[in-house]
Amino acid sequence: MEELKKIIRDIPDFPKKGIIFKDITTLLSDAKSYQRMVDLIAHRYVGDKIDKVVGVEARGFIIGAALAYKLGAGIVLVRKPGKLPAETFKKSYDLEYGTDTLEIHCDSIKRGERVLIADDLLATGGTMSAVVDMVKSMGGEVVECCFMAELEFLDGRSRLPEKKVFSLLKF
């Protein structure tokens, strides 16, 4: 895992001063590293009968789509308001300074479907907590929330269902 962590580039003071941004594009652009990352995460869920993988806008699409393909599951997109064309289920949630809203197509998850939720990075957990609530409200069973990386010092894991969080890389 250390080899994969070394490929992720730190960008100081982005998007604002004092933040060190974990730039995953360096890992994604390296074919062998990207394949290894997807394979390592997917291997965890082989045999779990995942029906849908939910990818969270926008980098979660990159990981979620690859996992859905590997697991023989459908891919479901969670987007910012106004980006999905059919009827949507909306969820607003609190941010550090304000609120945000996410949407998912109302017909994208059926009651009882086993759902893996995927995103690139677990930080404070606010976005993922909202997505978990959406999936459960639609009748889906959350198998796990999976991430390529986790910023452990932000303790986002504490906002998610106990024992239903997996992060490949931890910072």
User: For the chain, how big is the Rg over CA atoms in Å?
Assistant: 16
Region of residue 13 (phi > 0: left; psi between -120 and 50: alpha; otherwise: beta): left
pLDDT in tens, the chain (171 residues): 899 999 999 999 999 999 999 999 999 999 999 999 999 999 999 999 999 999 999 999 999 999 999 999 999 999 999 999 999 999 999 876 789 999 999 999 999 999 999 999 999 999 999 999 999 999 999 999 999 999 999 999 999 988 899 999 999
HEC assignment per residue over the chain: CHHHHHHCEEEECCCCCCCEEEECHHHHCCHHHHHHHHHHHHHHHCCCCCCEEEEECCHHHHHHHHHHHHHCCEEEEEECCCCCCCCEEEEEEEECCEEEEEEEECCCCCCCCEEEEEEEEECCCHHHHHHHHHHHHCCCEEEEEEEEEECHHHCHHHHCCCCCEEEEEEC
- Active-site positions? 59, 96
pLDDT at position 159: 94
Cα 36 from chain centroid?
17
Report which of 164, 111, 167, 109 is spatially closest to residue 142, judged by C-alpha positions: 164
Report which of 90, 112, 87, 109 is spatially closest to residue 101, judged by C-alpha positions: 90
**Domains contained in the chain, CATH given:** 48-170 (3.40.50.2020)
**Could you tell me the pTM of the whole model?**
0.95
